[in-house]
Structure 1
Amino acid sequence: MSESQNIEWKRSWHDDYLKWVCGFANAVGGTIYIGKDDDGVLTHLENHKALMEALPNKIRENLGIICDVNLHDEAGKKYIEIKVNPYSVPVSLRGRYYYRSGSSKMEMTGNTLNEFLLKKAGKTWDDVIEEGASLNDIDDNSIKTFVKDALKSGRMSNDIGELSTVELLEKIRLLDHGKLKRAAIILFGKDPNRFYPNIKVKIGRFGVNDADLRFQEVEEGNIMELLKTVPNQLNYKFFTKPIDFEGLLRIEKDEYPVAAIREMLLNALVHRSYMGSMIQLRVYDTKLTIWNEGLLPEGMELESLKRHHISRPRNPLIADVCFKAGYIDSWGRGTLKIYEACKEAGLPEPEITSLDGGILVTVFKKTIQSPTDQVDDQAGTMKSIEELQKEFGLLTDRITLGQEKNIAFLRGNYGVFTEEMRTKYGRSSDEIRTKFGEKTIYAVFLILLNNSITANEIGKVLGVTQRTIEKYIGILKSDFIIERIGADKGGHWKIIEQK
């Protein structure tokens, strides 16, 4: 037998071990054996008589609880057994709270302590009254969105459309004697960040690794708003091909399943710790991840998310409202939908891991989509021109089919589109095309993709001579659109920003 959730072995007694007693009392109880080594082998306890008299008093005086303290004798070797029962009220040691998790003892502080104390009081974070809030802090449009979706889902009676805001909030248990609960602010608040930090979703577009951040956006607001603005932002700036988030059964063959992305966002919003960091959504060339603070409920393992499991939401009031609106079900199937959607789309199996006090969900693309994968990461140089030509199809497939697709391709993969070019560089792609010709703007795009590309390489991609490309480059340089940094060999191009 080894040390576990409810067993601890100690060779001798030190008053510091009162922390272990406190941890067992706050968890599921346990037993501490004094007089055994780390392998559970008896070592004999010389001062067992003094400890039998002192330990019950030490535990009662320092922790305010009573434990069974028993003396045992095996083959002439004495050891003491301290049986600690679990307590429904929080137990502290000199104002500090400890908890037994696995085979280790941890001190609870900050948000962890807050959630623990609420749990012992029979409440959850979202069920607490927000004293500083009033009905003026509730957004009417968000209420209307909920009513519309709840009626559509059929999970609430048809008369909810006739209820006043007060009556509706009382019906869904978000109002207690005229006072709003925290869940009401998170779900329907005009400005949730006025009450709690980080009610936001940060979205970043990354390249080859986490150090390669190309651009980012932050969306904030209540859940009803975030369920609209986050997908809109993904479509507008982060995805190469916009997808329809209303069509939950539709599978996108070349990006990600809609159902998987929506479930990832909903799980993060419903199950996150709202006193922790903001939700972080990262879009890479070949994968998409979402992270929310807050670990799984006690006793639930990551592997259980791949099979049927019991729904145990961290924020049950928030989860219940989302259920009534038809956004989620109440059977713990959210993660299963992510796995199933990716399997149906022929994508690799998603990954769900614990990271930095939270849960990270990762879905992968089926094939590499981005030309940045044509770059040798270690050498920092482009692969063969043939590979680049194959990716671009001499640019006819992606760029010459019109400005709209051109912008969508570049903004999805590189964070570049016409408005940004105009703001940052003082030129839009339309203006450059009109003034200098179609292939000149292609040259600018290629420089944006790889600023170390040579005139010869650009010429091969565009199907023109190196001399022609040098002519284009000369025009672009003279009009202060690009400049050369460093020598012809070993240097690189730079797009000149607007002064």
Structure 2
Amino acid sequence: MDQAALTSLLAQLIANWEDEVVEFKEAGKDYDTDKIGRYFSALSNEANLRNAERGWLVFGVNDKSRKVVGTAYRPEIDRLLSLKNQMRDGTEPSVTLRNIHVLIDEDGHRVILFEIPAAPRGMPISWSGHYFARAGESLMPLGLDKLDEIRGQTIATDWTAQVVEGATLADLDPKAISVARERFAEKHARRVSPEEVAGWSDATFLDRAKVTQNGAITRAALLLLGKMEAAGKLSPHPAEITWSLRGEEQAYEHFYPPFLLTSSEVFARIRNVQIRILPQDQLLAHEVSKYDQSVVLEALHNCIAHQDYTRNGRIVVTEYLDRLTFESEGGFVDGEPTDYATGARSTPRRYRNSWLVQAMAELNMIDQMGYGIQRIYEAQRRRFFPLPDYDVKDPTAVSLTIHGRVVDPAYSRLLMQQAELDLVDVVNLDRVQKKLPITDDAIKHLRRRKLIEGRKPNFHVSATVAAATATMADYVRTRAQDDEFYAKLLTDYLAGAGRATRREVDQLLLDKLSDALTPEQRTKKIANLLTKLRRQGVIVNKGPRAAPQWMLAE
């Protein structure tokens, strides 16, 4: 929003004053993040219950006088934006702020408007393991009546939430349950210890992981954890993934539950050789695997999570010489693929299989709701490969193509040398290399930056940009290393020093990151790395949030 639109919005919110989906705070420079998280949970849940698209938390307005007084909360833009990651890490299921709007009014007062998405239907949002709600202007725990109302929104219509008559714990695979415990403990390491999770009975664990309903076996439980022979209890709806090899050699294989385990077996069947990408006029090639495991599993898990099982179809993974395709029944329920890839949308309001999605999130199969597509795009971009292609022409099915080869060397070289490119620009450049149309605004923007050449409709990625910057020194200095490289530097440091503050971590890693990143992007990358290692149980924070002390996990 521009400043005029924000001024109008603020006036409207103040005129209506506080209700269950709007909260005003004066907010000092160091307003407690935990309090923000509680309001996030409460406003998100209340927006869901009131069928609103969003809630608002507004800083810089005195909640007694109703006057705009301004706020000094996180004046640095990178620190302010880092709140998105903090909200995403502390909420369950993981969601984040839709937008953070900053308004400077005519009197010079700084006002921050946090746009909080409504909880998806059927999925209440918790903060640090606790659910919150509002009663007028008061913050309070989410009552059982409201909790049941949200959870009941989709149970009646959600195929995966239905209890399977006659199914028992004996129909679940013991190895799958054991792996599920490990995944759950890894995801919730901040709130519950692995020892505590290990001490729960199977029935208690499965209920806590939202796989079963009060001990009853759901269809989601059989899909994710069921024994192969128990899949017949889902008949006539097939629970099946088919891998097919096409080309000079042909082969196929069928895979059945437990999908928590067999999805990795599908990836193991795919031939995954190393691909060499040669920078312009250089002898040193950049080697990447043909397919990234995280990309393939993200795509496959999305198929499992969002398949329309009532259409009695199977998930089909087809391997060609230069690409993989993933086909599943059921069109997109909310939004378009590129909306999620570029950040135009974050968390969907609706899911076809809310119960299954929630269970997969609890078991760390899908990390953040609404961010899977963006992660696939980003991973392909980091590997200098073409971006994925979604075919959604058929409203009853979705087909996704993951490319395993370079289409246009100029595109790949450009990504090597300009790692700071906005993802929207990369999406448009990818369409150019594939000879697909782009908007007139995109054409003007890319031409102004000298990223494309030619005449409409025959554009191509500018080879002159790639050639002009393709010295080996530039390539090495701007090339981003894998996260494993930075993680090894940090863990080696912690092994010797014992602990490190955030400032010491920055001193260790900042000058090692790609020169193509802005200071804000470098800071954000380090924050994401710390979060990733903490979630994996590699490191722990022994200090307060405001002054962390990072140590290796015991």
Which entry has the higher C-alpha Rg, 1 or 2? 1
TM-score computed with the length of structure 2 as normaliser: 0.39
TM-score computed with the length of structure 1 as normaliser: 0.44
